[in-house]
């Protein structure tokens, strides 16, 4: 797997872009990471997609990882949607004959859903991993407080694998501080936009979620998915899994399900 780092000019500054390649790709994939983290945490996902002959792109979102912007501050999710559009455009420019798949996790699931609602014609398929499109009353309820408490994301919420939480807690590119009021307000607005943004039409969509997800609770996510589902939605709910299904103890199963979905809906040519 060949990895290169580069950058793109985003809506509010330079964004850091990871690219993982293979000599003869059959598809292009764009990964959109979640809140407070960075795209480098998805190298193992990129590896699985590259082994399936994919050309993979993932940017650190505004205010995250190595990209510019105040840490963990998002004032308007539409900025992230626009930046994702720039990454999709880069993938399409470098591989004009290949289908493009968009994969969004958590907060990135909101961004990916909004992009698909507005620009689904640019995509061949969509994968939503633990999307936060249904919100979390415990987190969004913090907005009602006169002062936000210092409550960062608990690493134990991510996976049943304790090493995932340990690496997250030790990662200097992860935001370990509290939520910011402007970010939470923007999150509420983004969830409302998703709810009002229409369904996904005939875009092949795979929704995967952890049954015991404490950050994007399944019950809230399901209602939101039902509102935006199109005619080609598939779902996989993993028993006992927490928020980061891509980092769970059954991650090999999850990644295999994603690859199998892509192979099927994209009707990919055989690898030589």
Contacts of 218 (CB under 8 A, 6+ apart): 209, 210, 211, 212, 237
How far is the C-alpha of 111 from the C-alpha of 194, rounded, in Å?
9
198: left (phi over 0), alpha (psi -120 to 50) or beta: left
Are 188 and 140 spatial neighbours (Cβ–Cβ below 8 Å)?
Answer: yes
Contacts of 18 (CB under 8 A, 6+ apart): 3, 4, 5, 39, 40, 43, 46, 56, 57, 58, 59
Are 40 and 18 spatial neighbours (Cβ–Cβ below 8 Å)?
Answer: yes
Spot the catalytic one: 33, 64, 95, 243.
243
Spot the catalytic one: 106, 159, 209, 257.
106
Respond yes or no: is residue 220 known to be catalytic.
no
Respond yes or no: is residue 213 known to be catalytic.
yes
Spot the catalytic one: 60, 79, 83, 213.
213
C-alpha dist (Å) from residue 100 to 58, 160, 167, 185, 194: 13, 31, 30, 31, 21
How far is the C-alpha of 191 from the C-alpha of 144, rounded, in Å?
17
Of 122, 113, 80, give the one whose Cα is nearest residue 198.
Answer: 113
Respond yes or no: is residue 67 known to be catalytic.
no
Q: Are strands 13-21 and 54-59 parallel, antiparallel or unpaired?
A: antiparallel
Any idea which residues carry the catalytic annotation? 106, 213, 243
């Amino acid at each position: 797997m060949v990895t290169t780092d580069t950058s793109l000019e985003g809506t509010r500054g330079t964004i850091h872009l990871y690219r993982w390649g293979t000599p003869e790709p059959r598809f292009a994939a764009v990964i959109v990471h979640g809140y407070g983290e960075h795209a480098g945490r998805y190298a193992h996902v990129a590896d699985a997609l590259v082994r399936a002959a994919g050309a993979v792109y993932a940017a650190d979102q505004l205010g995250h990882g190595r990209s510019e912007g105040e840490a963990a501050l998002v004032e308007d999710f539409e900025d992230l949607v626009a930046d994702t559009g720039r990454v999709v455009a880069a993938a399409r420019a470098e591989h004009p004959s290949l289908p493009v798949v968009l994969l969004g996790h958590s907060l990135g699931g909101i961004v990916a859903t909004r992009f698909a609602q507005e620009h689904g014609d640019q995509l061949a398929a969509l994968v939503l991993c633990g999307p936060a499109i249904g919100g979390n009353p415990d987190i969004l309820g913090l907005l009602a407080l006169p002062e936000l408490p210092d409550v960062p994301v608990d690493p134990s919420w991510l996976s049943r694998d304790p090493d995932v939480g340990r690496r997250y807690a030790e990662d200097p590119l992860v935001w370990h501080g509290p939520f910011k009021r402007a970010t939470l307000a923007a999150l509420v607005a983004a969830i409302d936009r998703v709810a009002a943004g229409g369904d996904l039409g005939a875009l092949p969509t795979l929704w995967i979620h952890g049954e015991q997800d404490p950050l994007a609770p399944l019950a809230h996510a399901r209602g939101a998915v039902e509102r935006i589902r199109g005619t080609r939605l598939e779902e996989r709910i993993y028993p006992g899994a927490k928020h980061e299904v891509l980092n769970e103890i059954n991650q090999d199963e999850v990644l295999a399900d994603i690859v199998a979905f892509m192979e099927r809906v994209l009707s990919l040519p055989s690898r030589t």
